[in-house]
């Protein structure tokens, strides 16, 4: 069988590699010529995909990439793994799903299976994707098959990869579900869990990520309250973790980053309005998470004021722009919002991140620096991403003021009195 994967990003490329490794001939589709070129050169641009595997598969002709959707006529099934961002009004932007579905519809043929993987609100598969495909005159469940199967890629997770993470599958008809379950069963090692409709599969994915969004919001609210009460929230969480059942630790931080957790719950908020329901819990958690960058900068200002310094005119060194540790992705990173608040208050900001050489933000290019060459000049050092590779002992020793928003310095032995935590 020949498999197509539309969208060669964080989700699509690892998926294409796994399917090729399972022995399928895979054609990767992307609208960005740069991505297509890199795949065809066997050059991997996603941290979690291993270079050798990719170049091996390309050499064997098991994996090729193209911008030409006419090759859809050669594939037996196609997975859509395109971005589902929010627009500037925090409204879902399903244009990538619509455009890629239209591209597929042009070459839709009898017997093909289409699976949507992108995280989206319940109803997308049957209300948006299916109508576009049926405009061809082909009937879903008879002439072609359609299912939703959420991606579960956890960037930087060494234990659970695309191959060994359980997969949920929900088809428009039973045949659709069976076909999709068979396809994934042949490719992946993890359990394939069948549900009764695409809506169930779409909603369970939203539940997974909203669960994280809400609980991180709770951890952040606890951090704000503990700061006011003079209690160490990190110690509180470690103590709560001793409960062997019914508790799951989440940690406060400078805010919520990434391309999933901050966005996905608002897909549900949007859809809920159609049913006259206001997802108050989701929106309140979002407000708390969105407040954290400002909370961090307020605390930094207080720490400087204790040394009779103003934030205005101070040199601030931020450690980490990636949205979480040990990865190079800075999309929606809370550090970007911390930079905004610092610069608004007149601080001069310098950023170190061993995984990110430079980054674009507010139309500006920031080159990251090496913290060691700058720490002596910095009026305050703020740890915004707890990368494992940092020498925290040395950072605490050298920092004039050290503000740790990730409890990254928990194992530092000396100079502990210098550490201020979120």
* Residue 148 near residue 119 (C-beta atoms within 8 A): no
Q: Let me know if 260 is a catalytic residue.
A: yes
Q: Within 10 A of 127 (CB to CB), how many other CB atoms are there?
A: 13
Torsion of CA 361, 363, 369, 374, to 10 degrees: -90
* Tokens encoding 78: 């196609």
The region of 173-181, 187-195, 253-261, 275-283 touching ligand SAJ under the rule CB under 6 A is 253-261
* Contact pick of 257, 265, 286, 320 for ligand SAJ (by CB under 6 A): 257
Minimum separation from the CB atom of position 152 to ligand SAJ (A): 4
324 binds ligand SAJ (CB under 6 A): yes
Minimum separation from the CB atom of position 301 to ligand SAJ (A): 22
134 binds ligand SAJ (CB under 6 A): no
Minimum separation from the CB atom of position 257 to ligand SAJ (A): 3
Residue 183's contacts (CB-CB under 8 Å, 6 or more residues apart) are 3, 77, 113, 115
* Contact pick of 44, 118, 119, 368 for ligand SAJ (by CB under 6 A): 119
253 binds ligand SAJ (CB under 6 A): yes
* Contact pick of 25, 35, 199, 212 for ligand SAJ (by CB under 6 A): 212
* Contact pick of 71, 193, 250, 374 for ligand SAJ (by CB under 6 A): 250
The residue (of 220 and 314) whose beta carbon lies closer to ligand SAJ is: 220
C-alpha 257 chain-centroid distance: 7
Q: Which helix (H) or strand (E) holds 256?
A: none
The region of 40-48, 186-194, 208-216, 392-400 touching ligand SAJ under the rule CB under 6 A is 208-216
211 binds ligand SAJ (CB under 6 A): no
256 binds ligand SAJ (CB under 6 A): yes
Burial class (CB in 10 A: 0-12, 13-18, 19+), 196: exposed
> Following DSSP, what letter does each residue of 43-110 receive, concatenated?
---STTS-HHHHHHHHHTTSEEEES-GGGGGG-SEEEE-----B-TTS-B--HHHHHHHHHHHTT--T
Distance from C-alpha of 250 to C-alpha of 327, rounded to nearest angstrom: 19
261 binds ligand SAJ (CB under 6 A): yes
Which candidate, 70, 72, 15, 23, places its Cα nearest to that of 39?
15
* Contact pick of 45, 71, 193, 251 for ligand SAJ (by CB under 6 A): 251
* Residue 207 near residue 186 (C-beta atoms within 8 A): no
154 binds ligand SAJ (CB under 6 A): yes
The catalytic residues are: 260
Q: Which residues bind ligand SAJ (CB under 6 A)?
A: 119, 151-155, 208-209, 212, 216, 219, 250-251, 253, 256-258, 260-261, 323-324
């Amino acid at each position: 069988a020949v498999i197509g994967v539309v969208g060669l990003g964080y989700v699509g490329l690892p998926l294409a590699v796994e399917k090729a490794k399972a022995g399928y001939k895979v054609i990767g589709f992307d609208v960005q010529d740069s991505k297509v070129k890199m795949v065809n050169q066997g050059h991997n641009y996603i941290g979690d995909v291993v270079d050798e595997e990719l170049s091996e598969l390309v050499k064997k002709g098991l994996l090729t990439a193209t911008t030409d959707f006419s090759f859809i006529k050669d594939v037996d099934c196609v997975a859509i793994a395109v971005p589902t961002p929010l627009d500037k009004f925090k409204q879902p932007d399903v244009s990538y799903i619509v455009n890629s579905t239209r591209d597929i519809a042009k070459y839709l043929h009898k017997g093909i299976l289409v699976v949507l993987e992108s995280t989206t609100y319940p109803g997308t598969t049957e209300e948006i994707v299916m109508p576009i495909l049926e405009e061809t005159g082909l009937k879903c469940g008879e002439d072609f098959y359609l299912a939703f199967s959420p991606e579960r890629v956890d960037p930087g997770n060494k234990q659970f990869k695309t191959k060994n993470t359980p997969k949920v599958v929900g088809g428009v008809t039973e045949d659709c579900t069976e076909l999709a379950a068979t396809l994934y069963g042949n490719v992946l090692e993890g359990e394939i869990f069948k549900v009764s409709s695409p809506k169930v599969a779409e909603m369970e994915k939203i539940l997974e990520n909203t669960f994280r969004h809400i609980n991180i919001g709770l951890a952040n609210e606890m951090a704000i309250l503990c700061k006011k009460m003079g209690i160490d929230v990190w110690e509180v969480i470690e103590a709560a973790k001793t409960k062997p059942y019914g508790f799951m630790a989440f940690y406060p931080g400078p805010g919520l980053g990434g391309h999933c957790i901050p966005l996905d719950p608002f897909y549900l908020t949007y859809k809920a309005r159609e049913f006259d329901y206001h997802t108050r819990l989701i929106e309140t958690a979002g407000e708390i998470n969105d407040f954290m960058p400002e909370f961090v900068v307020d605390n930094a200002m207080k720490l400087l004021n204790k040394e009779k310094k103003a934030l205005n005119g101070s040199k601030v060194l931020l450690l980490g722009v990636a949205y979480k540790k040990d990865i190079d992705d800075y999309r929606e990173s809370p550090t970007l919002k911390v930079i905004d608040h610092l610069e608004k208050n007149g601080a001069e900001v310098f950023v170190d991140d061993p995984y990110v050489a430079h980054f674009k933000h507010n139309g500006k290019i920031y080159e990251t620096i090496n913290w060691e060459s700058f720490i002596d000049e910095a009026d305050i050092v703020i740890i915004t991403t707890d990368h494992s590779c940092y020498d925290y002992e040395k950072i605490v020793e050298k920092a004039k003021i050290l503000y740790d928003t990730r409890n990254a310095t928990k194992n530092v032995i000396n100079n502990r009195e210098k550490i201020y935590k979120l």
